[in-house]
C-alpha cells in the first residue's frame, strides 16, 4: 500500500460520522434547480414524517421552472417543488392511530384550514386558505423527507407501487372531473367510437398542457367543441368560491 492509501485509512479511522441533512430540490431561478438542505418542522401529535420515494412532475412544476409563474402564482423566493408524491412513514405523532412506521402512503398535497364555510360543508378542496405543496410561498415535496398531517396520508395496498401511489393525486383530478361530467368509458356508443374518442382526447390534452396562459381559453373551447359537439362555450374566470 502506498503512502496515499495509508493516509486515506488514517483519515477514515479518525473521521466522525456525518449527520445526513434533509435535502430537497429548490427552484431558485428560471431553469435553475439546486439540491439544498431543507429543514423539517417538528412533528405535531397528528402528523407523520415520511421518507419520500416517488414524486411526479406536474405541469405546474414545469411552468414554475420555465417562467417562475403558474396562473396567478409567482415564485418570488426559492421554493421546493413537487406535489405528486408517495413514500414510507418513518415516525408518527402521539395521536396518530391509523398509520405506523413502515407504512407506504400516498400523500394528499393540500392542507385546508378546516374552519371556513367550504371546509365545514365537506368541500375542503375549495378552501380559500388552502396550503398546497409547491404553490408559492408553500414548499413542495421533492425532498428526502417531509412532515405532513396524518389524515392526508393514505396507506397503499400491497399491489400498488410507490410510483403508482405518487400518481394518485393527478388520477383523482381526472376521476373527479369524469364524475362531475358524468363521463365514463361507456359514454360512447360503440367500441370503435370509444377508441377514436380516447385517441382524440389524448391529442387535445396534449394541446391543453402545452398551451400558454393566453392560449388556454381558446384551446379549451376548441376541445369542447370538437370532442363533445358543443356549439357555445362560456369560459368565466372568478375568484368567488361561493359561486362554485
Span 51-104, pLDDT tens digits? 999 999 999 999 999 999 998 999 999 999 999 999 999 999 999 999 999 999
pTM above 0.75, yes or no: no
Domain boundaries, the chain: 21-181, 184-244
DSSP letter for each residue of 56-111 = E--HHHHHHHHHSEETTEE--S-EE---EEEEEEEEE-TT--S--TT-EEEE--EE
Residue 1's pLDDT is: 42
Q: Are 152 and 46 in contact (CB under 8 A)?
A: no
CATH of the domain spanning 21-181? 3.90.180.10
Confidence of residue 227 (pLDDT cuts 50, 70, 90): low
Task: Say whether pLDDT at 9 is over 50.
Answer: no
Confidence of residue 186 (pLDDT cuts 50, 70, 90): low
Average pLDDT for 173-189: 73
Mean residue pLDDT of the chain comes to 83
Confidence of residue 180 (pLDDT cuts 50, 70, 90): confident
By CB atoms closer than 10 A (0-12, 13-18, 19+), residue 54 is middle
Confidence of residue 235 (pLDDT cuts 50, 70, 90): low
Interatomic CA distance for residues 57 and 82, integer angstroms: 7
Interatomic CA distance for residues 77 and 37, integer angstroms: 15
Amino acid at each position: 500500500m502506498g503512502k496515499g492509501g495509508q493516509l486515506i485509512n488514517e483519515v477514515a479511522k479518525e473521521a466522525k460520522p456525518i449527520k445526513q441533512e434533509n435535502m430537497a430540490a429548490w427552484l431558485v431561478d428560471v431553469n435553475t434547480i439546486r439540491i439544498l438542505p431543507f429543514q423539517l418542522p417538528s412533528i405535531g401529535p397528528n402528523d407523520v414524517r415520511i421518507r419520500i420515494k416517488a414524486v411526479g412532475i406536474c405541469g405546474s412544476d414545469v411552468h414554475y421552472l420555465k417562467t417562475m409563474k403558474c396562473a396567478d402564482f409567482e415564485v418570488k423566493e426559492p421554493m421546493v417543488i413537487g406535489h405528486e408524491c408517495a413514500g414510507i412513514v418513518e415516525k408518527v405523532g402521539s395521536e396518530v392511530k391509523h398509520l405506523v412506521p413502515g407504512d407506504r402512503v400516498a400523500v394528499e398535497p393540500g392542507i385546508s384550514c378546516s374552519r371556513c364555510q367550504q371546509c365545514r360543508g365537506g368541500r375542503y378542496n375549495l378552501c380559500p386558505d388552502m396550503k398546497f405543496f409547491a404553490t408559492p410561498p408553500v414548499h413542495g415535496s421533492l425532498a428526502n423527507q417531509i412532515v405532513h398531517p396524518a389524515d392526508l396520508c393514505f396507506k397503499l395496498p400491497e399491489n400498488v407501487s410507490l410510483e403508482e401511489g405518487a400518481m394518485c393525486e393527478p388520477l383523482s383530478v381526472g376521476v373527479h372531473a369524469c364524475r362531475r361530467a358524468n363521463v365514463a368509458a361507456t359514454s360512447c356508443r360503440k367500441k370503435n367510437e370509444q377508441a377514436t374518442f380516447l385517441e382524440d382526447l389524448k391529442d387535445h390534452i396534449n394541446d391543453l398542457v402545452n398551451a400558454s396562459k393566453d392560449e388556454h381559453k381558446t384551446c379549451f373551447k376548441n376541445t369542447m367543441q370538437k370532442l363533445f359537439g358543443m356549439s357555445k362555450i362560456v369560459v368565466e374566470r372568478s375568484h368567488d368560491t361561493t359561486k362554485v
